Structure 1
Amino acid sequence: MVEQTRSGRRVGTTLSDALDARVVELRHLDDVVGSQDLLPAVRKELAEAEALVRNSSYPDIIGSRLLTATGELAQLAGWVASDAGLHAEAQRVYLSGVSAAEAANDFVLGGQLFSSLSYQMANVGNAEDALLLARTATHGARDATPVVRALLLERVAWASARVGDREATRRTLDEVDDAYERRTDGLPEPEWVYWLNRAEIDVMAGRCMIELGAPDKAEPLLSAAIATYPVEQAREVALYLTWLAEAYARSGQMDAAGATLSDARGFAAAMPSARTSLRLSTVATLIGDYSE
């Protein structure tokens, strides 16, 4: 898109369509390409999209599309940066994406961006702040479609589990299920929620059960979900195997925990991730502590 971002260029449908397609392409590459390899390309596309919005001319309808695409790129850039362990960069681009989404009057996308930031905060920051932000994101995206609402509620459930609120976590997980079951072919979902399916919902429920001290309830959810993932999605398989290993360890099944963690290391080697590395280290320490 570099030559397309010259100052004063008139932007129309063709370029807007190309940008939308590129966002989708990069988003799906995140399934199979490691964050360190993908991040430079996403950064470049985001910078060019921001320049296009800032320096070009276009009718209002095209401007809204460009702003939405920029917000979606910011969400992807934040997600990939967070996976690479660049949390400050992730926060910065998430918030820049919120500004783009709000300028496009796309408050559902704005909710997704705030919710993504809350998820990072729940993992590596202040869980109380994460919970407040996750709830704010859900309330702000009042027009969210069923699958998007399920996604936003998942982040509320995770933050609730991280602060140890059993009742809120269980109630919100029920709301996730209810929202997801209301999906219908007659109500199109944003493309950016393509990846949320029953397996992902079960993984999140299993993780929440571990956080709440119920690893026995987590194990069947995680085992069944992991079995559905293709080996090409090595990062997700590795991450979810670490949670299964933790469920085994906390249930006293140390041989299964060790074997599962070894499997996770194998998948992690194929698609490196700072998130995965942290999980591997955390669970290895946990298994060591339980074995002593």
Structure 2
Amino acid sequence: MSGNGGSGTSAEKRPNELLRSWFVRSGWSKGELARQVNRRARQLGANHISTDTSRVRRWLDGENPREPIPRILSELFSERFGCVVSVEDLGLRTARPSPSAAGIDLPWTGPQTVALLSEFSRSDLMLARRGFLGGSLALSAGPALIEPLQRWLVPAPPGPRHDPEPSSARIRGRLSGPELDLLESTTEMFRRWDAQCGGGLRRKAVVGQLHEVTDLLQESHPEPTARRLFKVAAELAELAGWMSYDVGLQPTAQKYFVLALHAAKEAGDKPLGSYVLSSMSRQMIHLGRPEDALELIHLAQYGSRDCASPRTQSMLYAMEARAYANMGQPGRCKRAVRMAEDTFTDAEDWDEPEADWIRFFTEAELHGENSHSFRDLAYVAGRSPAYASEAEPLMRRAVELFAEDGEHQRSYALNLIGLASVHLLRREPEQSAGYADRAMRIAKKVRSERVNTRIRKTVDTAVRDFGDLAEVVDLTDKLAVELPETAEAV
């Protein structure tokens, strides 16, 4: 490999007009750009990079540098201009599509997963600062979503997927056990903040932490360390996706979920991968695509069937029930509800440590998910009061448990508004208004556009059906004051 990062190709080159344009507008000299590239390369641990003015001139003349030069140039020009300047904007890597621009069908390899996570989290942070987050992304659905993700099930090729032992030049940067423990505990702290405060308050902090972890993954590590780092990256990417989903950034959320699944595969953690797929399934239900949700859940169940804990399996059954409910299949929905309940009882006898990411799935969550399944069945069946009556005791119990819990404020609010919607289905508007009012009070403390949207939809339904009722009129007035429709900060 050339120490200067050249492409080594003998193909005829054309001047790179895109790179030249950005370079001229930057005001840098060739020597200054070369020095900045070398400085950034050393920060990344790429000590073999030694760029000079002649190399910069060759890039301008059309030579394609090897990684990590394109990414370094992207970062430098982005920082210079205060906006995301992608590798493609610089006219580099024209032989293959951009990782950030690619859809769901991404390469299942460790180095490319790291590069994708790094580039996307960096772009997210920069675009969020400028208020343009997520605008250039598009959601994938149907076969375009499901078929590429099926490769999650394909076994990794034999042999080491990461450096078994770092070179002597990298030993100084090796992570210690306490440092890895701290990274993992920080991820757990972020997860608790999300449950307590919603996705709008700490999302950028999670994305920033994810970007830092991807920097660590670009160094050489022993196999056990690399796997732990990929696991941290997977959990952070899933959480960044979940928070993005919570504040309404749906394409951004899906991209993080996909990258989280790739990182979970690199970590060799199938239960974690199934959890990521369940988050994607929940998003598809929210977006009105229950068939895709069901495919994702079945993929999660099949991929983790031999290693998921009873609690994780129960959560997957509960999500399967939600998908069947939204597809209008009551028989299969009820069977999945029973399986979720039966499997959850086995969790009490499970004597192995549970991963932190599944600890959220308590008895309250179980009742909340299953009650939402019956509530969804009621809507699909033409506002059936019978299904609403099945949902009501489960939802009420979930609300009671979340009130006692005191930590999962967003789930508490979501189940309060769920109970309000159930009472509307049962044509009990006074009770509905009371629960919606309680949900509104919790929503003021939680930065969650998802919560706010569900409250507004429920109040709109109450106004449509019972607009003359005094309790509903009061509720509408409170909504306008307490939860005005303003853009969420992310």
User: TM-score range, shorter-chain basis?
Assistant: over 0.9
The answer on 1:212 being equivalent to 2:377 is yes
Is residue 2:372 matched to residue 1:197? no
1:95 to 249, 254, 258: 258
Gapped runs of 5+ residues in structure 2?
Answer: 1-42, 46-169, 379-386, 468-490
Q: Which residue in 2 is equivalent to 1:33?
A: 197
On the 8 A contact 1:12/1:58 being kept in 2, the answer is no
Q: In structure 2, what is the Cα distance between the partners aligned to 1:150 and 1:232? A: 22
State the Cα deviation string for residues 200-233 of structure 1 (Å, max 9, x = none). 1111111111111211121111112211224554
* 1:149-205 deviation per Cα after TM superposition (whole angstroms, max 9, x unaligned): 111222111111111111111111111112111112412221111111111111111
Q: Which residue of 2 aligns with 1:122?
A: 285
Please state if 1:86 is matched with 2:240. no
Q: 2:229 aligns with which of 58, 62, 66?
A: 66
Report the Cα distance in structure 2 between the residues aligned to 1:154 and 1:187, rounded to whole angstroms. 22
* Aligned residue among 255, 267, 271 for 1:104: 267
User: Which residue is 1:177 aligned to?
Assistant: 341
Aligned to 1:256: 431
2:185 matched to which residue of 1?
A: 21
Q: Corresponding residue for 2:175? A: 11
Give the number of aligned pairs. Answer: 287
DSSP 3-state at the match of 1:228? helix
1:281 pairs with one of 437, 453, 456: 456
Deviation at 1:237, TM superposition (A): 1.9
**Letter paired with 1:73:** L
Give, in whole Å, the separation in 2 of the partners of 1:233 and 1:185: 23
RMSD value, Cα: 1.6
> Unpaired runs of 5+ in structure 1?
none
1:108-147: CA deviations, max 9, x gaps? Answer: 1111111111111111242211111111111111210110
Cα separation, 2, equivalents of 1:217 and 1:69: 40
Q: Larger RCO: Structure 1 or Structure 2 (Cα < 8 Å, ≥ 6 residues apart)?
A: 1
Whether the 8 Å CA contact 1:11–1:56 is kept in 2: the answer is: no
Contact 2:395 2:415 (C-alpha < 8 Å) held by counterparts: yes
Is 1:187 matched with 2:352? yes
Quick one: which amino acid aligns to residue 16 of structure 1?
L
Identity level (%): 28
Partners of 1:115 and 1:31 in 2: how far apart?
Answer: 17
Q: Is the 8 Å Cα contact of residues 68 and 106 (structure 1) preserved in structure 2?
A: yes
Q: Distance between the aligned counterparts of 1:69 and 1:258, measured in 2?
A: 42
Decide which structure has greater helix share.
Answer: 1
Q: Which residue is 2:419 aligned to?
A: 244
Query: 1:107 Cα shift?
Result: 1.4
Distance 2:268 2:318 in 1: 24
Offset from partner CA, 1:6-26 (integer Å, 9 cap, x none) = 535322323211211111111
> What is the TM-score when the length of structure 2 is the normalising length?
0.57
**Cα shift readout 1:74-123 (whole Å, capped 9, x = no counterpart):** 11111111111111111101111111111121111111111111111111
Larger radius of gyration: 2
Q: Which has the larger displacement, 97-106 or 13-22?
A: 13-22
The question of whether the paired residues in 1 share the 8 Å contact of 2:238 and 2:276 is answered with yes
The CA distance in 1 between the partners of 2:466 and 2:388, in whole Å, is 17
Distance in 2 separating the partners of 1:59 and 1:172: 42
Question: Which residue pairs with 2:397 in the alignment?
Answer: 224
